[in-house]
Chains A and B, each alone.
Chain A
Amino acid sequence: MAVVRCRAGRGVAPSCKGWPGRAVQALAGWLLLCGLALAAPPTLRVLAWPGYADADWVAEFEERHTAKVEVTVVGSDDVLRAKLADIQGPAFDVVAANTVEIATMLARNELVALNLADIPNAGRQLSRFRRDIAGIAREGRRYAVPYTYSEMGLIYDRQQLSEPPQSLSVLWDPRWRGRVLAFDGSSHGFSLAAMQLGLDPFRLAEGQFSQVARHLVRLRRNLLSFYALPEESVDLFRRHRVAVMHANYGQQQLKQLRDAGLDVGYVVPREGALAWLDCWAIPRRSTQAALAAKWINHMLEPRVSRELTRRQGLSNTLEEPEALDAGSLLGPIRWLESVEDESRRMRLWQRIVSGERPERF
């Protein structure tokens, strides 16, 4: 199953203007054309997710750099890939994509190496974002700058667990049998079990698959249920007195549970937490690389990044999120990487979720 992201939809509804509005638009367009004829400001083509490049930030950037920005919004990784692969369409100058997609593009040599001196705000980022992150760096050169992320920590009921769980093994703990929730996703499921077993979550060796699969059966036997949607998890959490949950939607899920009146805590256990991380990168086809670097720098302005967190509920790369204080961040955040064999994980996962007994793996 593909990564399901829970993002607040911030699609801009097309405004319904009457003809005076159109007339003004036409006039504005004409004036713009005149302006173009005189000054011809450069156009920056941005490919991003909803809410990543809100109109006010775009306007501010346009004014500051005397440029025109065209934002194309995508809602899924598939569409993002299709847009970038479309040779007929315009060449994007800057793109927001997760580490897995960035890694794929980098492997295909489709990205431009960044000169971080052009992006001074990158220096303001938390140290873990300034380090080389797998998939976005190669041969000591950086090809993308992290922008926003969501880690998949553990949510626990503070009434039942007086202390935050230290380890992922809490999910397997028979003490909580029937009061554990896990996400129904093959790729993350295997990575989770591998992390608990101390294996590389993204690169399982041939002989490790049955070990991990059996471990997942053990997890299944300890579960109340698998969930797919965040609402579903809230409903189950409330109605079945769930003790601990692997939160695929991270802090957004935490907020939903707290909004539902539940006394829950959040923790990244010592084995770490998987996280998707969206980064800005400059495709090789870009014709405005210098302006694109300015765009990335603009997006890393503290004001813009904080506003992203406020508007979208997503973490930014400049400040630690409130939910993740030192006591809650017990392990590393593991940025998603492409896995060794997605379809194999999916086939096995389906059998696990269907309820096959461990001896069949």
Chain B
Amino acid sequence: MRWNIGLRLGLLLASFSILAALLVGYFTFAASRDMLNDRAQRALLSTTQILSRHLQSGFATVARDTTMLATLAAGMPSLGPVASPEVQAQDTKVLADVFRSVLQARPGYLQVRLISAREHRLEQVRVERQGGRVVRAEEAALQEKGHYPFVFETLRLGQGEVYVTEFGINHEGLSEGPSQPIFSVAAPVVRDGVVAGVVVVRLDADHFLGNFSAGLPAPYGFYLTNRWGDFLVHPDRNKTFGFDRGQRILAQDQFPGVERLVSGSTTEAVIAHMGSDDEKQALALVRMPFGMRDDGRFLLVGLSQPMSVVQAEALELGRSIVKMVSILCLVGLLLASWVSRVVTDPLKAMVRATEAFSQGRAHGALPVERHDELGELARSFRDMEQQIGQQMVELNRSRDAMAHLAHHDPLTGLPNRRMFEQRLERALEMSRRSGRACALVFVDLDDFKSINDKLGHAVGDAVLQAAARTIAGAMRQVDTVARLAGDEFTVLCENVDTHDASLQVLDKLQQAFESPLLIDGKPFAVRASMGVSLFPRDAQDARTLLASADAAMYRAKQRLRFQD
């Protein structure tokens, strides 16, 4: 490939446009991606906040149920210390029936009980779900519960307040199976301003939380931790309630930044982490106040989403930007190629013109009418071309003159000896080929020396010129008349086949010298001696032929002297 200007210019322009498109594309993408990611993260956080509020309202519903039951229990006179066993039994039966209906109405409730503040906090009534049935515990199976927080914490509360326990695995009795996650809500039974007992509702934590997490679409992962960061809900169930097995599986050990939520320095956060299946996840966490009293307790509610979902819009945007950038690049390429043609076409025309000019060929029109640098270049080129043309004409002319000088006698304008010898050689060659003879006449002016001596060189020259004219005038156009030297002239007549014909030529010349020559308009008698030789009869080469004619001329001159 030729690395020409057009290509370079095109590539340069194309690179610029592609670079510009890429830069614009990248920065647009980066800015919009951050914006979209931010928005998606805020959306995830908002969803988590909504979920956390739903959870709180769920707790509030259970709290209302519990408070209602506590109020009901407070209205039973039998719970007082003075009631007879019969009245007490009747009242607890009524209460047990109420508890039973509550359990039947609320499938998430596992157990409802009334615990007395007396008798080492002995249970008074316990109704619980056992294998799908709701049963009331026998009197002998009632237990002392004073060491449980739902008792000792609730006994400190006032009318209308409730205590929510931490989430945990049930170890209280074995009726519900070994590893059921539970939590309880307890309300004080306040009679005459004194806390006489506690109503405790135990809930199935899975069922309760399922109400909230069930509605979440598939890619969401639901997390819940207690105030120390122990997982209560985790997509991997093995990571929940680790503390119950003697190991702590803490959110702050798994996710960076949770420490700040646990310590309370922030109340919400969105963090990125690697999910179990090596997919990057976005996790929004909200610190949800928990428990009805201002005791600083909280739960961390978390929702995770694959980062690909969070970034989906940004990726979509990225794809659009790639398309847009591609189109821009294509347009840039086309523009670059067009611009490069606009610039290089006139240049190419100039190049073609220069090539044609150097080879002496004609070339097409140049863009001289343009008003830019290219037009200027074209005009300069045209001027230069014209100037060079003129100089060439003059050069040729002077070369022709030089050539003429080299081959002609400057006085008479006749071919000189050099040219004559060339022509003679050529004529002999032609003659050998054609077989037609040619004649050579040698003419020598008589007494020319005395003319020069007596009348001066100017007259001598004039005589030579007049003699030349006379000889040329007597001969055919095709014959070559030359001045060899001094007053010696030769005539070469080609295609003179016979001796007679040669004699006719000689005769014609002699006749021409019969009448006087005109020198400055005055008649001046000049005589000339002539000799002829015929090729190939008299000689086989130019020198011998010339010598033969010279010899014939000399004989004629001798004869003339004898006649005189």
* Interface residue ranges, A against B (CB under 8 Å): 1-4, 9, 75-76, 178, 220-221, 223-226, 228-229, 231, 239-240, 350, 353-357, 360
Contacts and interface: CB of A to CB of B under 8 A. Distances in A.
B143 A356 contact: yes
Interface string B122-148: 110000000000000000100111111
B144 A355 contact: yes
A239 B144 CA distance: 22
Q: Is the interface of A mostly helix, strand, loop or mixed?
A: loop
Given A4-B246, A221-B120, A221-B146, A355 B152 contact: no
Nearest to A185: B246
Contacts of B144: 220-221, 355-357
B172 interface: yes
Contacts of A356: 143-144
16 contacts: A4-B246, A76-B247, A178-B152, A220-B144, A224-B147, A224-B152, A225-B152, A228-B243, A229-B243, A229-B248, A353-B171, A353-B172, A355-B143, A355-B148, A355-B172, A360-B140
A254 to B, nearest CB: 19
A178 B148 CA distance: 11
Nearest to A5: B246
Contacts of B148: 225, 355
B108 to A, nearest CB: 22
A62 to B, nearest CB: 30
A2 B228 contact: no
Contact of B246 (A76, A220, A231, A357): A76
A306 B147 CA distance: 40
Contacts of A240: 152
Nearest to A4: B246
Nearest to A355: B143
A355 B174 contact: no
Size class of the contact patch on chain B? 20 to 34
Nearest to B121: A355
A96 B146 CA distance: 41
Contacts of A355: 121, 123, 143-148, 172
B246 A350 contact: no
The winner among B123, B144, B149 for most chain A CB atoms within 10 A is B144
B143 A231 contact: no
A353 B121 CA distance: 13
The winner among A223, A231, A353, A354 for most chain B CB atoms within 10 A is A354
A353 B172 CA distance: 7
Interface string B231-247: 00000000000010011
Given A221-B144, A225-B147, 9 more contacts: A3-B246, A76-B246, A220-B144, A225-B149, A354-B171, A355-B121, A355-B148, A357-B122, A357-B144
Given A4-B246, A225-B147, A226-B147, A354 B173 contact: yes
A178 B155 CA distance: 12
A240 B143 CA distance: 23
A239 B297 CA distance: 13
B147 A220 contact: yes
Which 5 residue pairs spanning A and B have beta carbons closest together? Answer: A355-B143, A355-B144, A223-B147, A4-B246, A2-B246
Interface string B95-133: 000000000000000000000000011110000000000
B246 A1 contact: yes
A357 B144 CA distance: 7
A74 to B, nearest CB: 12
B228 A231 contact: yes
B164 to A, nearest CB: 15
A355 B152 CA distance: 14
Contacts of B228: 229, 231
B228 to A, nearest CB: 6
Interface string B510-541: 00000000000000000000000000000000
Contacts of A226: 147
Contacts of A360: 140
A152 B288 CA distance: 36
Nearest to A357: B144
A82 B148 CA distance: 36
Nearest to A182: B147
A221 B123 CA distance: 14
Contact of B172 (A75, A223, A354): A354
Nearest to A223: B147
Contact of B171 (A4, A220, A221, A350): A350
A317 B446 CA distance: 158
Interface in B221-270: 228, 243, 246-248, 253
The winner among B121, B248, B295 for most chain A CB atoms within 10 A is B248
A351 to B, nearest CB: 8
Contacts of A9: 253
A223 B120 CA distance: 11
B293 to A, nearest CB: 11
B526 to A, nearest CB: 115
Contacts of A223: 146-147
A132 to B, nearest CB: 30
A225 B150 CA distance: 11
